[in-house]
Amino acid sequence: MVLFLVGVGLNNEKDLTLRGLELIEKADKVYLESYTSILSPGASIINLLKEKKLIEADRKTIEENCDGIIAEAKEKNIVLLVVGDPFCATTHSDLVLRSYEQGVKVEVVHNASIISAIGCTGLQVYRFGETVSIPFFEDNWRPKSFYDKIKSNLERGLHTLCLLDIKVKEQTIENMMKNRPIFEPPRFMTINQAISQILAIKEEDNSSLLSQDSLGFGVARVGSEDQLIVSGTLKELIHTEFGGPLHSLVICHPDLHLVERRFFEINKKK
Amino acid sequence: MVLFLVGVGLNNEKDLTLRGLELIEKADKVYLESYTSILSPGASIINLLKEKKLIEADRKTIEENCDGIIAEAKEKNIVLLVVGDPFCATTHSDLVLRSYEQGVKVEVVHNASIISAIGCTGLQVYRFGETVSIPFFEDNWRPKSFYDKIKSNLERGLHTLCLLDIKVKEQTIENMMKNRPIFEPPRFMTINQAISQILAIKEEDNSSLLSQDSLGFGVARVGSEDQLIVSGTLKELIHTEFGGPLHSLVICHPDLHLVERRFFEINKKK
């Protein structure tokens, strides 16, 4: 039997591919990565699957139950639905690897991912350097490696796609201590929070590469009917309201190509 | 009315999304980018569309007839089917831009692209630097900018995705002179050719960053049922037979992470 990793794309059940849908229909059991619940009409995928034995699982659960899922896939056809493209998270790479090692066949259904869909800004996808993830700062934890990577991309004339943190299934310390399975509502980092974290690090950095006058694109709900793309300086974007999740941010190299420049002008905050 | 840019994904008609299929069914006219004919079962998309007024067009035709397509989209719902994700080619960015400028609404259906699907190698997609395109060398034209970019990524600890050249609708000089609309069969660069071009440039370069001992992944027909992924040194991969199109090549930073290393070992040429 086979373990199918099926990408569900960026928004809703209509982003499934025909092959993905076919596999779900034939599957013996379907796992749904709980990140999907944060997607615009998350419930729609669940409706689609209502006749299936559907298990919603966060990445941690998938990681911890890795061997269980692989054992099932020896007997049954198992589908794991993953937001975007299945290989864009390390968790799933590890699952695939262990399956190989245990002789379980794995098939992947690729789908749209923000990594390539970010081309919707009109910036050339080949002109992006390393992608960075911006984590929520906490009182005693303010990593700045993403900032250094953005600067390093700028030095090489490249744009940077910044993926913004998402927290699902968080527990308060009290609930954790008392072992109560009560979880906080999912939260996602807004473009505004991401920029404010970047500018907070900037305060301790004298380089002129990155500042509140740097150019960027804020993108929200890419690929959905109410997607929003706004270009501007970071100082402008920090005051722009982007609405619901998911948000991503691009820091542009200031020397935009001709076509890129025209996209930038068209998407400017009105 | 609307100009819909619909990504068709990496392989065949089953890679269309439900939303993409719905738009095709409702469209007044459908343009099919002729690159699709190079995809594994290219004909299958054409079958799917047999009742539609379907126009196969290469990128040059789309570029030259840009204003014609936009004029149509003022009156009708037009779908342009694009291999992979619609924004991964500059041609389409320009089409979108001109549509905006002429007040024509554009909607995009994103899909899988090699830019993110390359995660199937097990390499971390966030650890890729700038993507490069390797063009067919000609007698008097041997650009080496892709080589410098690969080295620059290596210096920063990053992998490089190399997209390999495709030629469609080429004419012989004779046919061109006599204005005969006879085109050569499409050709695509193999992984073997790409490596041989890289090593040809290497001969004039003393740097130790890149050599025939560099590590790479050759990938063919990603996402299809007969996809092939092989890892090895460039010296090994240059002698590997990868079969039909499309091919892509990854040059790895030699310092692979733990999970990456395991994928490399598993995919090694037997």
B119 neighbourhood in chain A, CB within 8 Å: 85-88, 93
pLDDT at A169: 72
Per-residue pLDDT of chain B (270 residues; tens, 9 = 90+): 999 999 989 888 889 999 998 998 899 988 888 765 555 445 556 666 666 667 777 777 788 888 999 999 999 999 998 888 888 777 788 889 999 989 999 999 999 999 999 999 999 988 998 899 999 999 889 999 999 999 999 998 999 999 999 887 777 888 888 888 888 777 899 999 999 999 999 999 999 999 999 999 999 999 888 899 999 999 999 999 999 988 999 999 999 999 999 999 999 977
Q: How far apart are CA B73 and CA B88, in angstroms?
A: 22
Interchain contact, A124 vs B90, CB within 8 Å = yes
Question: In sequence order, what are the residues at sequence separation of 6 or more whose Cβ sits closer than 8 angstroms to the Cβ of residue A191?
Answer: A164, A218, A220, A237, A240, A242, A247, A248, A249
What's the residue count for chain B?
270
SS3 B224: coil
Please indicate whether, in this complex, the C-beta atoms of B122 and A96 are within 8 angstroms of each other.
Answer: yes
- What is the per-residue pLDDT across A139-197, written as a single tens digit (0 to 9) for each? 889 999 999 999 999 998 999 999 999 887 777 888 888 888 888 777 899 999 999 99
Minimal CA–CA distance to B241: which of B187, B192, B198? B192
For residue A72, the one-letter residue type is E
A7 → chain B, closest CA residue: B112
**Taking residues A8-25, what's their average pLDDT?**
89
Q: Is B114 a known ligand-binding residue?
A: yes
B235: amino acid identity, one letter: K
| Helix spans in B83-144 (H) | 90-101, 114-117
The Cα–Cα gap between B218 and A72 comes to: 31
Q: Quick check: A17 and B22 CB within 8 A?
A: no
Report how far residue B241's alpha carbon sits from residue B235's, in angstroms, rounded to the nearest whole number: 13
Q: Which residue has the higher pLDDT, B243 or A32?
A: B243
Q: Cβ distance A236 to A269 under 8 Å?
A: yes
More confident residue, B219 or A270: B219
pLDDT at residue B35, as a whole number: 63
At residue B41, the pLDDT reads 45
pLDDT higher than 80, residue A52: no
User: Is the Cβ of A110 closer than 8 Å to some Cβ of chain B?
Assistant: yes
pLDDT of amino acid B31: 87
In chain B, the residue whose alpha carbon lies closest to the alpha carbon of A6 is: B223
| Global pTM value | 0.90
Pick from B167, B133, B165, B136: which is nearest to B34 by CA? B167
Q: Which residues of chain A neighbour B13 with C-beta distances below 8 Å?
A: 18
Using only C-alpha atoms, chain B has a radius of gyration, in whole angstroms, of: 20
Q: Do A85 and B223 contact (CB within 8 A), yes or no?
A: no
Contact state of A113 with B116 under an 8 Å Cβ cutoff: yes
Q: How far apart are CA A116 and CA A80, in angstroms?
A: 22
Taking contacts as CB-CB distances below 8 angstroms, the residues of chain A near B120 are 87, 108, 110
Closest by CA position to B216, among listed B202, B205, B230: B230
B8, B16 Cβ separation under 8 angstroms: yes
Separation of CA A177 from chain center: 30
CA distance A241 to chain B (A): 22
- Rounded distance, CA B162 to CA B146, Å? 8
| pLDDT recorded at residue B57 | 77
Distance in angstroms (rounded) separating the CA atoms of residues B65 and B57: 10
**Residue A84 DSSP symbol:** B
Task: Enumerate the residues of chain A whose CB falls inside 8 A of the CB of residue B10.
Answer: 110
Looking at beta carbons, which residues of chain B come within 8 Å of A16? Answer: 17-18
β-strand B247-251 against B160-164: which pairing, if any? antiparallel
**Is A120 within 8 Å of B88 when comparing Cβ atoms?**
no
Which residues numbered 169-228 in B keep a CB inside 8 Å of some CB on A? 222-223
Q: Is the dihedral of CA A106, A112, A114, A117 positive or negative?
A: positive
| Portion of chain A with pLDDT greater than 70, in percent | 92
Whether B238 has a binding-site annotation, put simply, is no
Of B17, B124, B222, the CB nearest to A15: B17
User: And the tokens for B44?
Assistant: 């299958």
Q: ipTM, 2 decimals?
A: 0.90
Which positions 124-153 of A are in contact with B (Cβ < 8 Å)? Answer: 124-133, 152
What is the distance between the alpha carbons of residues B191 and B171, in angstroms, rounded to a whole number? 24
Residue owning tokens 């196969």: B56
For β-strands A2-7 and A105-109, DSSP reports them as: parallel
Q: What confidence category does residue A41 fall into, taking pLDDT thresholds of 50, 70 and 90?
A: very low
Q: Length of chain A in residues, anyone?
A: 270
Query: Could you give phi then psi for residue A203, rounded to 5 degrees?
Result: -55, -25
Between chain A and chain B, how many beta carbons pairs sit less than 8 Å apart?
167
- Measured in angstroms, the CA of B246 and the nearest CA of chain A are apart by 16
pLDDT tens per residue across span A194-219: 999 999 999 999 999 999 999 999 99
Rounded to an integer, what distance in angstroms lies between the CA atom of residue B4 and that of residue B23?
Answer: 8
Predicted local confidence at residue B54, as pLDDT: 73
Query: Cβ of A110 and B129 within 8 Å?
Result: no
Cα(B257)–Cα(A50) distance, integer angstroms: 39
Nearest CA in chain A to B103: A266
What is the percentage of chain A residues whose pLDDT exceeds 90? 59
- B101 Cβ under 8 Å from any chain A Cβ: yes
Quick check: A18 and B21 CB within 8 A? yes
Beta-carbon count within 10 A of B89 CB = 21
A201 is in an annotated binding site: no
Contact present, A110 and B223 (Cβ < 8 Å): yes
Tokens for A163?
A: 């993926």
Rounded to whole angstroms, the Cα distance separating A107 from B225 reads 8
Determine whether the annotation assigns residue A164 to a binding site. yes
CB proximity A266 to B under 8 Å: yes
Instruction: Mark yes or no for CB contact B116/A90 under 8 Å.
Output: no
Cα–Cα distance, A234 to A211 (Å, whole number): 8
Query: Greater confidence, A253 or B40?
Result: A253
The token duo for A213 is 């006058």
- pLDDT tens string A66-102: 899 999 999 999 999 888 888 877 778 888 999 998 9
According to DSSP, the β-strands at A132-134 and A29-33 are unpaired
Q: Which of A192, A206, A170, A203 is nearest to A247 (CA)?
A: A192
